Chains A and B, each alone.
Chain A
Amino acid sequence: KSARPNPPGPTLFSCKVKEAEPEQENDDFTLLKSLAEGQRSKETNETPVRESLEKEPYFPDESDSTKNRRLVEDYDSTKMENGKYQDDPESFRQVDGTPLTAEDIVQKIATKIYEEDDRGVFDRIVSKLLRLGLITDSQADSLEYEVAEALQDLITKNAKNNEIEDLGEDYPVTRGDQDDQNPDAKGEEEERKDGLQDLQYFPNFYRLLKSLDSEQDAQERETLITIMKTLIDFVKMMVKYGTITPEEGVSYLENLDAMIALQTKNKLGKTLGIPGIIPPTGKTPEDDDNTKAEAAKMQKEYENLKDSTKEEAPSTETRDHPGKSEIYLEAIRKNIEWLKKHNKDEGKDDYDLSKLRDFMDQQVDSYIDKGIIEKGEGETIKRIYGSL
């Protein structure tokens, strides 16, 4: 029942940050995690993916990287509003409701605006969220109000404290900033190594980054990292706004990692680890027109891969339906989540995974015999259980 200690040291997404990451960022994802899973008594094997996401959020923007500075006090945990929760991660296991987490978001946006000295940050973020349907207009309005207030507080606080900004910081950014990093190259290198340590919880993503070792890959790497962060943040947002459940959020991110494995195998010809067959849904948002052609090409390559690995199951799936593996994966995940929660509620020990796996294997075989499940599907299900 003991809580996982927070990962020490700098994280990937705050490359230049030497201080310990702020607790409040841990809170976001701890909350997400706790909403999704309830208490965990098992540690290592099952928590990796979640743990990697205990970092401060990062809002992508196009401004000059030299302006991206963090306030020292962001990393000074004793000044955190939510500092009282730090010492007792257990208290985060209780879902105490949205107010706490919405404040975090507001704080972060306000902080960003302050740093950038640019109100456009807010507009960009909110318009993206609105466009994706992740928040409603009225939610956007109240967010605006709250951010304005928080910003005002920040200004007041900072004027009082007369803080010194940490000039050494930098963020993973888009191309063109490579030159700026030279003076700090060595430090950054070390940092990256340390930062990558955390990504082991996204095993496939981590391996992919590791494989992008060379200099010409460096920019691709940075971009990937940026994207990953963005995705994580969007997922967190959606969970907080109730658009998806925490389980779905966690499951998307895990699916993402699995898909990365597959795409990497396809693209780089390397196998990263467990091949997860998570095909893209085929829907493309309008605002990515310029990458549609590329995506379509990737899609085709994926299709070929999929056909060669699948058995001759009659395919009535249209492009609009998620693959059955994804549906089955989702269903199995829901069961595991429920089992964990259920056992916790009943005060029992954690369910016996190997027993469950054996039972399911047995059932699957029986269903294959009776023509209820196809052989290939049965293997997929067994494989999913095997990888838990």
Chain B
Amino acid sequence: MNRFVSLVLLWTLAVLSSTGPVTGAEEGEISFEYHRYEELRKALVSVWLQCPSITRIYTVGESFEGRELLVLEMSDNPGTHEAGEPEFKYIGNMHGNEAVGRELIVYLAQYLCNQYQQGNESIIDLIHTTRIHLMPSMNPDGFEKAASQSGELKDWFVGRSNAQGVDLNRNFPDLDRIVYGNEKEGGANNHLLNNMKKAVDENTKLAPETKAVIRWIMEIPFVLSANLHGGDVVANYPYDETRSGSTHEYSASPDDVTFKSLAKSYSQFNPVMSDPQRAPCRKNDDDTSFTDGITNGGAWYSVPGGMQDFNYLSSNCFEITLELSCDKFPAEDTLKTYWEENRNSLVNYIEQVHRGVKGFVRDLQGGAIFNASISVEGIDHDITTAKDGDYWRLLAAGNYKVSAYAPGYLTVIKKVAVPYSPAIRVDFELESLVERKEEEKEELMDWWKMMSETLNF
């Protein structure tokens, strides 16, 4: 056979035979491998090319060494916040050597796109009702370092921090300290980062990756989030920093009940995480704080300056930390298994954004009231409305009194019975103080008129 013919045959046989056995329709389409930066970029671009009507790629900034902090956004109207549609994010690989989360987010993007096109109704519904942001790696520089190590076993530390040697999960402004102070002496219970823009721009201690993510959090009204790590297997929730400063102490946030419910919603679908018989990752590990695959951060070990608590205390976003593998950078051939263990949890956790109470706060003319506060009686943590007056208040099932307040307006309180899911719609129409004064004046005038007519003066 001539060379050309043989090559054609060879190539096609090679391509045909390289399609391995298909275990399930969706798994056959995902290639379970590690993605270096270029490969990561290409993988995201491919998802976008495959599903351009429901995805968009953007970057929140650059790492220290100039790699883009890429995000793939998925929604029915990518690029825009639709009034009333909650925003969700996954962030992976903030410790560059904790690699599983990074890959899972890439596989998730591919999975959601494939499932959407294959007509999976619950995925279609999820994408139509949520705006999902996927950032596979917050620390691409660290990952390259970790991945460049030769040999089977990757070091526990190489690649963890960013290129400047900063541990990004200790680099966020420590708002826990402030809230603990306010708990004792009074003060705000939410949005504690004062003079935000200034604080961020002028803070020389912040790594570029940290700055970029803080700006991202300020710009998009995220409701729910998770931060993917490795080195253990558990779903960790606020607060991460202990109140007393000790190394282990249960440090409940005002939303302890809600967070436990959210964390469990992840762990329950991960068979390894929720296995009560699971042995600790390393013989001497202390996992006494773990129950049902979840743990309070402070109870496990104190972490100051972490991204999880920063989300809760600077914005409306509830974030938990997911530890997904005992091994921080496991062998490539284990990635498929990690995907299988986490796929259902990852999808189901996004769905958790549709819980609690949600709605709009408007004035009597129907205009949106931006930055109104939503308070829940008994929970010392308020959230605020976004630019369209829309809000989403995550709550575990129960009966609550929810009130809406804005400066210059009269507070309105409503009673709500909240199921596990879906979210209950509660809208507020607020009367401004000026309007009330006018009303009262009119009432007074009417009364005076009536009196004068009756009494003839």
A interface, CB within 8 angstroms of B: 132-134, 220, 223-224, 227, 230-231, 234-235, 238, 242-244, 248, 252, 255-256, 259-260, 263-264, 267, 280-285, 288, 291, 294-295, 297-299, 314, 316, 321, 324, 327-328, 330-332, 334-335, 338, 359-360, 363, 367, 370-373, 377, 381
Q: Is the CB of A294 within 8 A of B14?
A: no
Known: A133-B21, A297-B3. A331 touches B50 (CB 8 A): yes
How far does the Cβ of B10 sit from chain A's closest Cβ, in whole Å?
Answer: 5
Instruction: Tell me the bound Cα distance from A275 to B419 in angstroms.
Output: 59
Residues in B neighbouring A256, C-beta threshold 8 A: 8, 11-12
- Docked-complex contact A316 and B39, CB < 8 angstroms: yes
B154-196 at interface with A (beta carbon < 8 Å): none
Task: For A260, list chain B residues within 8 Å (CB).
Answer: 8
When chains A and B are docked, how far (Å) is the Cα of A366 from the Cα of B442? 57
Check if B244 is an interface residue, CB within 8 A of chain A: no
Interface membership of B46, Cβ < 8 A? yes
Decide yes or no whether B417 CB sits under 8 A from chain A: no
- Inter-subunit contact A294/B7 (CB<8 Å): yes
Q: Cβ of A334 and Cβ of B117 under 8 Å apart?
A: yes
A377 to B45, CA, bound (A): 10
Minimum CB–CB distance from B267 to chain A (whole Å) comes to 33
The smallest C-beta distance from B111 to any residue of chain A, in angstroms, reads 14
Least CB separation from A219: chain B residue? B2
Q: Is B57 an interface residue (CB 8 A)?
A: yes
Closest CB in chain B relative to A16 CB, distance in Å: 23
A133 to B42, CA, bound (A): 29
- Residue in chain A with minimal CB distance to B47: A331
- Find out whether the CB atom of B5 lies under 8 angstroms from the CB atom of A220: yes
A284 CA / B10 CA spacing, docked (Å): 7
Q: In the complex, A242 Cα to B39 Cα: how many Å?
A: 29
The reply to whether A335 and B5 contact each other, CB–CB distance below 8 Å, is no
Beta-carbon nearest neighbor of B20 in chain A: A133
Contacts A133-B21, A331-B47, A381-B49 given; indicate if A280 touches B2 (C-beta within 8 A). no
Among B5, B16, B17, B59, which residue has the most Cβ atoms of chain A within 10 A? B16
Q: Please state if B14 and A223 are interface contacts (CB–CB under 8 Å).
A: no
**What residues of chain A lie closer than 8 Å to B17, measured between beta carbons?**
132-133, 283, 285
B41 lies within 8 A of chain A by Cβ? yes
Does B4 make an interface contact (CB < 8 A)?
Answer: yes
| Contact in complex: B45, A328 (CB < 8 Å) | yes
Distance A48 CA – B424 CA, assembled complex (angstroms): 54
CB-contact partner of A295 in B7, B16, B19, B52, under 8 A: B7
Do B57 and A259 have beta carbons less than 8 Å apart?
no
Which residue of B3, B6, B16 contacts A238 across the interface (Cβ within 8 Å)? B16
Among A242, A267, A283, A316, contact of B14 (Cβ-Cβ < 8 Å) = A283
B5 contacts which of A223, A252, A297 (Cβ < 8 Å)? A223
The verdict on A244 contacting B19 (CB below 8 Å), with A295-B6, A372-B68 known, is: yes
A280-B14, A285-B17 are known contacts; what are 18 more A-B pairs with Cβ within 8 Å? A220-B5, A224-B5, A227-B5, A231-B8, A256-B12, A280-B7, A281-B18, A284-B10, A294-B7, A327-B42, A332-B50, A334-B50, A370-B58, A371-B59, A372-B45, A372-B57, A372-B70, A377-B45
Bound Cα distance A367, B117 (Å)? 24
How far is B49's CA from A299's CA once the two chains are assembled, in angstroms?
28
B425: Cβ under 8 A from any A Cβ: no
Residues in A whose Cβ lies below 8 Å from that of B279: none
Pick from A224, A259, A377: contact of B11, CB below 8 A: A259
Whether B455 sits at the interface, judged by CB under 8 Å, is no
Q: Is the CB of B38 within 8 A of A314?
A: yes
Residue of A nearest to B57 (CB): A372
Q: Are A298 and B12 closer than 8 Å at their CB atoms? A: no
Output the nearest chain B residue to A279 by Cβ-Cβ distance: B11
Q: Of A280, A321, A332, which one neighbours B49 at CB under 8 angstroms?
A: A332
Nearest-CB distance from A214 to chain B (Å)? 14
**Cβ B8 vs Cβ A259 within 8 A:** yes
Please judge, given known A-B contacts A263-B4, A291-B1, A370-B59, whether A335 and B41 are in contact too, CB under 8 Å. Answer: no
Q: Distance (Å) between the CB of A215 and the closest chain B CB?
A: 15
Contact present for B8 and A227 (CB under 8 Å): yes
Say yes or no: A294 contacts B6, CB within 8 Å.
yes
* 6 closest residue pairs by CB, A with B: A331-B49, A331-B50, A291-B6, A331-B46, A338-B117, A280-B11
Instruction: Indicate if B415 sits at the interface (CB-CB under 8 A).
Output: no
Q: Which of B395-450 contact A (CB under 8 A)?
A: none
- 29 A/B residue pairs, CB under 8 Å, sorted by A: A132-B13, A133-B21, A223-B1, A227-B8, A231-B12, A238-B16, A256-B11, A260-B8, A263-B7, A263-B8, A267-B4, A280-B10, A280-B11, A283-B17, A285-B17, A295-B6, A297-B3, A299-B7, A324-B42, A328-B45, A330-B46, A332-B50, A335-B49, A363-B52, A370-B59, A371-B68, A372-B41, A377-B42, A377-B45
How far, in whole Å, are A288 and B117 apart by their CA atoms in the complex? 38
Q: Does residue B9 face the partner (Cβ distance < 8 Å to A)?
A: yes
Please measure, in the bound complex, the distance between the C-alpha atom of A234 and the C-alpha atom of B256, giving whole angstroms: 59
Q: Residue B16 contacts which of A224, A252, A263 (CB distance < 8 angstroms)?
A: A252
CB contact between B52 and one of A235, A288, A327, A335 (< 8 Å): that residue:
A335
